[in-house]
Amino acid sequence: MTRVRRDERGVALVLALSFMVLIGVVTSALLSSLISSVNQRGVLDGVRNRQYAADAAVEKEIARVRALGSGGAGSAPCAPASPIAYPLNGVTIHVDCTNVPTLTRTGFEQRNVVFTSCIDTGAACTTGNTIVRAQVNYEGQGGGTPTITKTYIQSWTVTR
Amino acid sequence: MNRTERGDTLIEIIFAIVVIGLVVSSITAAISTSVNGSTAHRQLVTGDTVMRNYAEAVKTAARTQCTSSGATWTAAYPAPGLPLGYSVNPLAGQACPNVTATAPVPIQVQLPNGTAKSMNIVVRTP
C-alpha cells in the first residue's frame, strides 16, 4: 500500500468538490438548454397564431371588398372603410388593400386587389413587416357597377 | 500499515460513498428532468403540427364544400390521421358563411399529457 504523505491530505476533498462543481455546471447547462427550447416553443406558437390571425384578416377583407359596389379597374377597392384592423388570437392585424392594373372589357369587369397584412401599428404595412400578401381577382358581369360573381386568389404569400 | 494512518481508509471510503451518492443522485435527477422536459417539448411540437394540419384541413373543407347557399361543411383530420394520444375538436355540419362574410372557427388540440391548445381561424365561401 502506498503511504500517503502528510502534505497530500485534503487532495481527495478538493477533487471531490471539483467533480461536484463540474456536475453542477453540466446539469445547469442541460436545464438551461431545456428551458430555452421550451420558451422558444412558446415563441413559435405566437408566430403561428399571428400567421393565422393575418390569414383571417385577409380573408375578412376579401369578403368585405367583394361586397362593395365599386367595380372596375379604376375604382377604389377598399373604400370606404380601409385600412381596417382585426383582432384575433391575441394580436391585432392591420390590412391594406390597393388596386393593381387590370384590363377591363365591356360586359366583363375585372378588379384585381392586393391585400397586405401586418401587426397593427397605426401605419401602413411595409415589405419588412408584412405577414400575408394576397392578390385577388374579382370578376363580375354587367356594366357600370357589376355584381361580383367569382373571386380568384391569384397569389397568397406568407412572408414571416 | 503505519500506526498514524489507522482510520483514514474508513473515513475515505465513507466520504467517497457520500460523494458518489450525491453525484449519482444529481445525474439521475438531471436525466429525469431532461427526459420529462424533452417529452413535453416533443408533444408541444407535434401539437403545433397537428394544429396547423387541422387548420388547413378546415379551410380546405370550407373552400371545397361551400359551393351553394345553405350548404354545410365538415372537416376531417387529413390522412394518415392523428398521432396516437392527440385529439381535435370535431367540426361537422358547419354552416357555410355568405360570400361577403366569414365565419370564425375555433381549433382545439388535446395533447397526450392533457394539455389543450387552441387557436382561432376564419373560413370563407369562395
Q: Which amino acid is at A44?
A: L
CB contact under 8 A, B119 and A49: yes
Cα–Cα distance measured from residue B95 to residue B61, given in angstroms and rounded to the nearest whole number = 12
Counts for chain A of helices (H) and strands (E), in that order: 1, 5
Cα–Cα distance measured from residue B30 to residue B92, given in angstroms and rounded to the nearest whole number = 46
Cα–Cα distance measured from residue A110 to residue A103, given in angstroms and rounded to the nearest whole number = 7
Which of B2, B30, B101 faces A63 most closely, judged by CB atoms? B101
Question: Which comes out higher in pLDDT, residue A9 or B3?
Answer: A9
% pLDDT > 70, chain B: 93
**Contacts of residue A86 in chain B, CB cutoff 8 Å?**
none
Residues 31-60 of B with CB under 8 A from A: 33-34, 37-38, 40-41, 44-45, 48, 51-52, 55
User: B80: cis peptide before it, omega within 30°?
Assistant: yes
Phi, psi (degrees; rounded to nearest 5) at A117:
-125, 150
- Is B116 touching A (CB cutoff 8 A)? no
**Contacts of residue B121 in chain A, CB cutoff 8 Å?**
52, 55-56
A contact test, residue of B27, B99, B109 with most A CBs within 10 A? B99
Closest CA to B53 of B109, B13, B9: B109
Cα–Cα distance measured from residue A2 to residue A12, given in angstroms and rounded to the nearest whole number = 15
Tens digits of residue pLDDT in B42-58: 999 999 999 999 999 99
Residue listed under C-alpha cell 397526450: B112
DSSP letter string, B106-125: EEEEE-TTS-EEEEEEEEE-
**Can you say how many angstroms the Cα of residue A156 is from the centroid of all Cα atoms in its chain?**
13
Question: Which comes out higher in pLDDT, residue A38 or A74?
Answer: A38
- Is A136 touching B (CB cutoff 8 A)? no
Tens digits of residue pLDDT in A59-74: 998 888 887 755 544 4
pTM: 0.77
- pLDDT in the model for residue A73: 44
Cα–Cα distance measured from residue A117 to residue A84, given in angstroms and rounded to the nearest whole number = 10
Residue listed under C-alpha cell 378588379: A111
Statement: residue A77 has pLDDT above 70: no
* Complex-level ipTM beyond the 0.90 threshold: no
